[in-house]
Chains A and B, each alone.
Chain A
Amino acid sequence: MTFGGKVRLARHVDPDERDGNYVSYTAFSLSPEDLKAKQPYLSVNSTQMEPIVQIIEIYRNRQQGKGDVAVSIKKVYDYVKEGRSAGAQITSRRGEHQWIFPDMDGNAPAFLHRPNQSNNSHCGVEFLRSLEELQQRDFARSMARHPGMQVSPATVRRTARRR
């Protein structure tokens, strides 16, 4: 699994985190449980590994089928750019399509494939753990300002065609 700059990453936006086309920055925030973990990361799904339609279905299940499903789709490069702006030291390994950042135990991948039983395309944005509390909020705000949001309606509306 590679994370070239053009690979697209999807992040679920909770219905209560958006106001029309605007997205609250909390859609890109780590939860307290994430922060307690040994290696906190932001959960995303790679559209390279799974079609967006299937990823939306995963999110629809998370919402228990209620309401529209909103997904923020951004490129790896967007995450890198905003991460750097917030203060993360992310560098690329040429030719390997890999991004690294200085972690506790030396350099670590900035993005990691973390599949689980129900979610094969699950990945982690790892470099967030190198940011301080305020920097994490700066990053989340930058991401939310241009969320690249796609909304999948709760029900597919069928329009009758007039002859």
Chain B
Amino acid sequence: MATTITTIHSIEARPGVFATDLAPRYFYTPDPPQLPMNVGLSRGTTDANISLPSQPSPLTNVVPDSFRANAGLLIRSGLSRETIARIFRLSDKPDGWREPGSKRLDASSLRAFLTFWTTIARQAREPFLSLAPNGNLIAHWHASWRRHLDLEFDRSNVIYFGLFDNRDVLQGKAVLANLVQTLTARRNNPFMWKRA
């Protein structure tokens, strides 16, 4: 099976403008689990999805760390409500979620995915997201059993990729810019693949 290793260059980390503890207060949080009954969801609401609490809300305590750390990027990502809910669900999985030793979602892996998404969003369908036992986020585009792309966003800003396009198989690791350029230049853009 062919394995392609693309040259790795460092890419600049882009901290989110709102990537602070304040962000969750201004951000819609999908279905927070087990919220205490006596806690109001919003105070001084000005919009259906925006709440402006006057005091720190206990709600922030139930937002997973990786989700809270990337709130600013999530706001600007343009991802659908379903995908954000999916990210919340994956962020909420504790250490040991699969087997002893499997790790929770790493905040820098989520950041790497969101950075990637902002560069590709206009020419891509939203992927199916899953979590790796090492805490990395993985994006999948399935067209069929024979046509499939997956990208694993490592905390070190390396992306592990696997592309199956009928007989054409590419697997390896690369950095964001190289990978996007290579894959979008293909005759059929795998980022647009969706299940039939």
Cα distance A72–B89 when bound, in Å? 23
Size of chain A's interface in residues, with CB distance under 8 A?
27
**Interface segment out of the listed B21-29, B69-77, B142-150, B181-189:** B142-150
Contact among A20, A43, A86 with B1 in the assembled complex (CB-CB below 8 Å): A86
B25 smallest CB distance to A (angstroms): 28
Q: Which of A20-58 contact B (CB under 8 A)?
A: 20, 22, 24-26, 29-34, 36, 43
Cα distance A22–B90 when bound, in Å? 18
B103 smallest CB distance to A (angstroms): 6
Is the C-beta of A14 less than 8 angstroms from some C-beta in chain B?
A: yes
CB <8 Å contact, B145 and A146:
yes
Residue pairs across A and B with Cβ atoms less than 8 A apart, 21 shown, are: A16-B89, A16-B131, A17-B131, A19-B140, A22-B142, A22-B195, A26-B130, A26-B138, A31-B99, A31-B101, A31-B102, A31-B103, A32-B103, A33-B101, A134-B3, A134-B173, A138-B3, A141-B162, A141-B171, A142-B1, A145-B148
Spell out A's residues near B (CB within 8 Å): 14, 16-17, 19-20, 22, 24-26, 29-34, 36, 43, 85-86, 134-135, 137-138, 141-142, 145-146
